[in-house]
A and B are shown apart, each in its own frame.
Chain A
Amino acid sequence: MITTLSKDNVSITREQDVVPFRNRVKEQAVRIGMGLVNQTKLITAASELVRNMIRYAGQGEVRIEVVSKGREAGIRLIFSDNGPGIPDINLAMQDGYSTGKSLGLGLPGTRRLVNEFDIKSTVGQGTTVTILKWKNG
């Protein structure tokens, strides 16, 4: 069972919010003693998702959670927006698929960088992406 030890909400409205947001994630990762490589993977994943949020939904909110399962600690990030939603998630999760004339790396790459990845989206309502990185994961 995963227990949430602390939570913190950050609202994202513009690209200048990206770097401070990344720093908040880093703070928590450092706090639980996550190693540099895992930290870098987590923050890079977070950066991709927050960029998608700004780009496709305009704005949104991220919840930063410190979680634990037994002796293992981790960071869970929940990105939620009220943007246009994603019509075909399987397609969006494919390497190279982009409606933004980009590389289409963000979602599939993010999934590779974290331990748990979940995406829910409803057209016209918005998108929620949840990722979890264990300290030693």
Chain B
Amino acid sequence: MGPFLLVTIQIDLYDRLALNLETDLVNMVHKTGARGVLIDISAVSIVDSFMGRILGNIASMTRVLDAETVVVGMQPAVAITLIELGLSLTGVHTALDVERGMALLQSKLDPDEELANDNDNDVE
């Protein structure tokens, strides 16, 4: 199994930076052969249609490279707003936090291992 990439977005990105992130990430997946990408957006206070589209693009491009993308840590206010805006983030997996995102990725790549994980899940 290839490694996972973890990307933490620390600031509200303006468009060019968000587009750079898209290209950089896709290149990194290609270069490292990563099978999974975790994008931590817990520090992001606004996801508008532009940012939402970038997340969707990353998910579909990485899928072509045989990797899954999970967006983690979306703030509840952001999630509520996205739904009202009408942006569905189709094809983007989401998880509450990095740990759960990681578990989700693992289960996607290796369903058997996920069962083992479930059994010794002693977190919290």
Residues of A bordering B, CB below 8 Å: 15-16, 18-19, 22, 36-37, 39-41, 43-44, 47-48, 51, 95, 102-103, 105-106, 108-110, 112-113
One of B46, B48, B77, B85 near A37 (C-beta < 8 A) = B77
Nearest opposing residue in chain A for B84, CB measure: A112
Residues of B bordering A, CB below 8 Å: 12-16, 45-50, 53, 75-78, 80-81, 84-87
One of B14, B80, B84 near A15 (C-beta < 8 A) = B14
The CA of A15 and the CA of B51, in the complex, are separated in Å by 13
The CA of A106 and the CA of B48, in the complex, are separated in Å by 9
Q: Are A103 and B46 in contact (CB under 8 A)?
A: no
The CA of A79 and the CA of B47, in the complex, are separated in Å by 20
Contacts of A108 in B (CB 8 A): 86
The CA of A16 and the CA of B81, in the complex, are separated in Å by 23
Q: Are B85 and A109 in contact (CB under 8 A)?
A: yes
The CA of A103 and the CA of B47, in the complex, are separated in Å by 15
Q: Are B14 and A105 in contact (CB under 8 A)?
A: no
Contacts of A37 in B (CB 8 A): 76-77, 80-81
